[in-house]
Amino acid sequence: MSKLENEQNRVMDEFDQIQSESGGFDISKHLAKPEDLPDLGEIEIYDYDTSITVASQQSMEVLESLIDLYLSDVPELKDHPYIKNKMKEDAMVYAEAIFLTKMTRKAFLGQMRQVDNGDNSARMHEVVNQTIAQIRENAKFLSGQRTELEKFYKTLRKDVGLNEIENPEVIKAQNQQMVDAGSSDGGMITDNRKLNELIKSAMLNKEEDKKKK
């Protein structure tokens, strides 16, 4: 009998011996019971596609309302191809920021559940702190993005010579207030622009009268 065969026989004998000695071994006694395991909650498959769609809708609503605020009194500018394309591009960037904010919040909630289930390691607390910092950065980015968009449309209005916002809804509300006030005191009804022109004209006449004297 060769050396290899002797080694194989030795291993088989040892294996048979182990099996015979552990014949009454009950492995179930050494397994954790379900009630001893941490409660991981229900397993939920997150619908990322729906979340992206919702973020895109929210972003488009923000951009549309912003453009309507600054350009509603200039339809030809509001409907310009450049403005439409820019709105779509800005909406995409803003939608990604909204989606990442949601994902960061989702990750943070998952981490806090792990901590509640007993994971109090230093590494876990470090991850939680990093996520909190990221949530703050996301909020700053969203706020800064809105501010930059507002600055762009304010500057655009100035570049085309439109310094005052003439939103129809705002003007309508202001005119209605003036109508109500004029009807109650019997005075003349006018709007803000006409009133400013009257004041300016009166001041100029006053200056001319001083010069003549």
- pLDDT at position 177: 54
> What are the tens digits of pLDDT across the range 90-141?
999 999 999 999 999 999 998 998 888 888 888 988 999 999 999 999 999 9
- Residue 115 CB contacts under 8 Å (≥ 6 apart), including other chains: 124, 125, 128
pTM for this structure? 0.57
Mean pLDDT lowest among 4-13, 83-92, 137-146: 4-13
Provide the residue ranges of all domains of the chain, joining segments of one domain with +.
48-159, 178-208
Nearest one of 192, 167, 174, 168 to 69, comparing CA atoms? 167
The pLDDT confidence band at residue 55, using thresholds 50, 70 and 90, is very high
pLDDT (average), residues 178-204: 54
Evaluate if residue 189 carries a pLDDT over 50.
Answer: no
Cβ(87)–Cβ(63) below 8 Å: yes
Return mean pLDDT, the chain.
Answer: 78
Q: Which residue has the higher pLDDT, 104 or 205?
A: 104
- Sign of the dihedral through C-alpha 181, 74, 159, 140: positive
> What are the tens digits of pLDDT across the range 16-35?
777 776 666 666 766 767 66
